[in-house]
Structure 1
Amino acid sequence: MLIGIVVGNVWATRKEDSLNGLKLMVVQRLDLAHNKLAESFVAVDCVGAGIGERVLITTGSSARKALYNQESPVDAAIVGILDQEEMMGKKPESD
């Protein structure tokens, strides 16, 4: 699983049928060990996350399981909204 920050939305009027009705979000991966942002990618939102929220993301076949659709062409899904993180007894700096 990954930790990231939702930085935007994606709208696609034409897409694969199994993606209809799914909310697509742009997420930027967060590297907590170095307190920096890494690559961005698109993830299906399973929990109603909003822009600016820190989220828990699952990838690969686990992302499809979160959607309950093994045939959907999804490789990343937001499965949680984080309240806080802690690294070696310290909370990360807030933005």
Structure 2
Amino acid sequence: MYLATVIGTVVSTSKDERLVGFKLLLTQQLNPDGTPAEEPVKISVDTVGAGVGEQVIVAGGSSARAAAGYPDAPIDSAVVGIVDTVEVEV
């Protein structure tokens, strides 16, 4: 899992039937200090009702598919939480 910011949405009228009904979000991974990481932007399935501008928790791989409730769906990334606060102790 990692922290990310939702930077946009994806609309796809033609997609795998196992993705119908899911909102798709563009997520940008964050460094521990909250700045954008060098990682590429990912399309993530929204499982918690997140919106653009929110800081979220993202799960990947089989954990993402499990969070969405579709273990056989083509899901590689899922938003599984909306962040309230982050505390980093140095």
TM-score when scaled to structure 2?
0.93
Aligned residue in 2 for 1:36: 35
Question: Could you report, residue by residue, the CA deviation over 1:46-75 in whole angstroms, capped at 9, with x for unpaired residues?
Answer: 000010000000000000000111110001
Runs (4 or more) in structure 1 with deviation over 3 Å come to none
Identical pairs, percent: 41
Whichever of the two has the greater Rg, that structure is 1
TM-score when scaled to structure 1?
0.88
Task: Verify: 1:75 aligned to 2:71, yes or no.
Answer: no
Distance 1:32 1:83 in 2: 15
CA RMSD of aligned residues (A): 1.1
Distance 1:31 1:19 in 2: 29
* Structure having the larger proportion of residues in strand: 1
Aligned residue in 2 for 1:92: none
Write the mapping of 1:47-62 to structure 2, written as runs, cut at 5 A: 47-62=48-63
The runs of 5 or more residues in structure 2 that have no matched partner are none
The runs of 5 or more residues in structure 1 that have no matched partner are 90-95
Distance 1:53 1:11 in 2: 19
How many residue pairs match? The answer is 88
